[in-house]
Structure formats: C-alpha cells, structure tokens
Amino acid sequence: MRRNDKRIGDPALIETIMRKARVCRIALADDNVPYVVPMNFGFRGNTIYLHSAGEGRKLEILSRNDLVCFEVDTDLEIVTGEAACSWGAKYYSVIGNGKASIVNEPGEKRIALDSIMEKYSGKPVWDYGSAAIDKVTVIRIDLTDLSGKKSGW
C-alpha cells in the first residue's frame, strides 16, 4: 500500500469490516481478461464462503484458475468540495487474495451456509434439508493475505 497512514494494521478492525460489509466482490482471471462478480458471502476465520448456482462463467473460470482476489468495503461517504479535485470519499476496505475450491462435503456446506445466513440475518443456525444441500454449490476461498485501508475516517 502506497499510503502507510491509510493502512489498517489491527486484525480486529479488519474482521469488523469483513463482518459489516454487505457485498464481496471477487475478481477472477479468464486468460488475460479480468472478471469481477459481486456476491453475498460468509466469513469465518481465514475463509470466505460464497454460494453459487452449479454452473456458469464464474465456475468455468475457477475450474481453470483457482486464484481469487476479493474486495469488501463499508461506511462509504462522499466528501464534497468547492473544486473538482477537492472531492473524495471516506471508507473502510479490505482487499485480499486466496485460493478457491468447491465444497462437496455436506457438513462443511452447512457451516458455509450458516456463516452466510448469520451474516445477513443474525441467526447462527438454519435448517436447509438434504435436497437443498445437495443442490447448492459452495465456493470456499482460503485466504492467503488481507490488507485493510481507511480513508477520511
């Protein structure tokens, strides 16, 4: 990160941002073409969980290249000014990299889905039924690095 004064070094604040963020944007590389997808997500420890349909461009790309970059942000506020170049933004963000895999084990799928549902509903445990567990595709991203940034706060 170029501006050390904007770096977030506190792991607890990074975790707070991850828990507060509503959308996770994942970036994939399809040969030399970038592809970014906004997704709902769950976060536990050093893992991001995403749910997906069983087919589509995202899964096709991941089958060829399992490296993923992600970004989340919170508390975005536009800062206005008198001159065009004096405008800016306040925000907190986390960016990281990881390796994606498809979760096949039903127990881990339940853990993943519970992490997603808890994030958005506040309720930690849900009942999905075997048919739903069998049908859903869950993507697991094992994080290799994270960095946090704050601007204007």
Q: Mind listing the pLDDT tens digit for each residue in 65-108?
A: 999 999 999 999 999 999 989 999 999 999 999 999 999 999 99
Where helices occur in the chain by DSSP H, the ranges are 11-20, 57-64, 106-121, 130-135
Residue pLDDT, tens place only, 109-130: 999 999 999 999 999 999 999 9
Model confidence band, residue 148 (pLDDT cutoffs 50, 70, 90):
very high
Q: Which two tokens stand for residue 36?
A: 């970014």
Provide the b/e sequence for 110-130 (b: ≥16 CB within 10 Å). Answer: bbbbbbbbbbeeeeeeeebee
How far is the C-alpha of 66 from the C-alpha of 53, rounded, in Å? 17
Residue pLDDT, tens place only, 9-42: 899 999 999 999 999 999 999 998 999 999 999 9
Task: Give the mean pLDDT of 46-56.
Answer: 95
How confident is the model at residue 43, as a pLDDT? 95
How confident is the model at residue 100, as a pLDDT? 98
Q: Taking the alpha carbons of 98, 109, 21, 44 in that order, is the dihedral positive or negative?
A: negative
DSSP state for residue 100 in the 8-state scheme: E
How confident is the model at residue 30, as a pLDDT? 94
Burial class of 66 by CB neighbour count within 10 A (0 to 12, 13 to 18, 19+): middle
* Contact assessment for residue 24 and residue 50, using Cβ atoms and an 8 Å cutoff: yes
Residue entry with tokens 């507060």: 20
Task: Give the mean pLDDT of 118-144.
Answer: 95
pLDDT at 1 exceeding the cut of 70: no
Per-domain residue ranges of the chain = 4-146
* Dihedrals phi, psi of 55, to nearest 5 degrees: -150, 165
Can you name the residues that pair with 43 across neighbouring β-strands? 48
CATH top-level class for 4-146? mainly beta
Cβ atoms within 10 A of the Cβ of 51, count? 18
